[in-house]
Amino acid sequence: MCERYIQLEVTDGNDLGPALKSVDLVIPALENQTTLVYLDQWTRANGIAFAFDPAAYAITSSKVESNHLFTNLGLSIPTPWPACGLPVIAKPSLGSGSHKVTVFNETHSLQHHIKESNEEWVIQEFVQGPSYSLEIIGIPDQYIPLTVTDLRMDAGYDCKRVMAPTDLPQSLISDFEYVSISLARALSLKGLMDIEVILHQNTLKILEVDARLPSQTPTAVYWSTGLNMLKLVGELFLNRPVQRRTGAAPPRGVVYEHIQVSPNVLEVAGEHIMSGTDALRVEHDFFGADEAITNYAPGRNNWVATLIIAEPDRRSAWLKRNTIISEIRQHLKLDGYRDSSPGQINREEMT
């Protein structure tokens, strides 16, 4: 999928030098701390722009440190255990995504889980509601909130679908932008940051913040608004003016979704299904989807795809999405359909 692919040991200067000697900018798309530290040092020594904020990342990569920041700023978060009742959700402090995220309905099972683990945990009340994401970019005193997107999770709390434009009312969008600017200022952010919240009882509660390039929302935002987050990040770190577009056409409706096909079943699932697969490539007009990232081949019984569907408005995009799912199922004669959500069993029909 890359224009040029190089396999190397990133923390070996002898490997890294020949690969990066002619580049102007490095944008990391990983979370390995050792590698990030080395890249930061190497790019500084070689006068190459590195689109990364180590100080902000050091705080946001830890859910414990992030929650301290939220509390100090007086921002709304799910009530921490044991001040809350059951059920609770336990998340490892380090790492992103849904890895090891678990809901507990009993105190003794929660205590046993923590006792048997050598990790640091964040434990909070389990709140239900729709999730939303917002990116903010800039340097101190010059922050630009970008576009809110709607997130949908699978049963394992991994993001399975991103939709745009958001269904949040403008008053809550303004609240979300205020929170994002407050966090960026507190971190003295230089770069791009992603904030995820959940809407519970008409209040946006912060779930996490990551001072890094997010993996899914940039594509949905690009197809909806034409806003290219990679371009904005590049302009910022190459010391060029970064401006949010104004006067543009209304945002298009976009559905960005992951599917996994196995014998007789199509399942909508989180981003984890895309990792570790073989021969991914970009396909245009994939069963009617505008674009897809997939390893599908005729006759193959097991494959995955990230579908990107765009229409003039969100409702039209969703109806087109349903048509595409039906087309895939009919073409491949797939009787089963699963689309799970947190706290729900798999749904066997489309809505």
Structure tokens at 301: 């019984």
Over the Cα atoms of the chain, what is R_g? 21
Mean of per-residue pLDDT scores for the chain: 91
pTM of the model: 0.91
Q: How far apart are CA 113 and CA 99, in angstroms?
A: 15
pLDDT the model gives residue 99? 67
Cα atoms in the 13 Å half-sphere on the side-chain side of 14: 0
pLDDT band for position 235 (cuts 50, 70, 90): very high
8-state DSSP, 288? T
Structure tokens at 138: 């800039």
pLDDT band for position 351 (cuts 50, 70, 90): very low
Q: How far apart are CA 79 and CA 81, in angstroms?
A: 7
- Residue partners of 168: CB distance under 8 A and separation at least 6: 132, 148, 150, 176, 199
pLDDT tens, position by position, 181-231: 999 999 999 999 999 999 999 999 999 999 999 999 999 999 999 999 999
CB 20 within 8 A of CB 48: yes
pLDDT tens, position by position, 219-229: 999 999 999 99
Does residue 346 carry a pLDDT above 70?
Answer: no
Structure tokens at 85: 């009742």
pLDDT band for position 114 (cuts 50, 70, 90): confident
8-state DSSP, 249? P
Amino acid letter, residue 255: V
Out of 3.40.30.10, 3.40.50.300, 2.60.120.260, 3.30.470.20, which CATH number does the structure's domain 57-75+130-237 have? 3.30.470.20
Can you tell me the mean pLDDT for 36-54? 95
Q: How many CB atoms are closer than 10 A to CB 198? A: 19
Share above pLDDT 90 across residues of the chain, in percent, rounded to a whole number = 71
Q: How many CB atoms are closer than 10 A to CB 332? A: 17
pLDDT band for position 336 (cuts 50, 70, 90): very high
Domain borders along the chain are 16-50, 57-75+130-237, 88-125, 253-339
Does residue 50 carry a pLDDT above 80?
Answer: yes
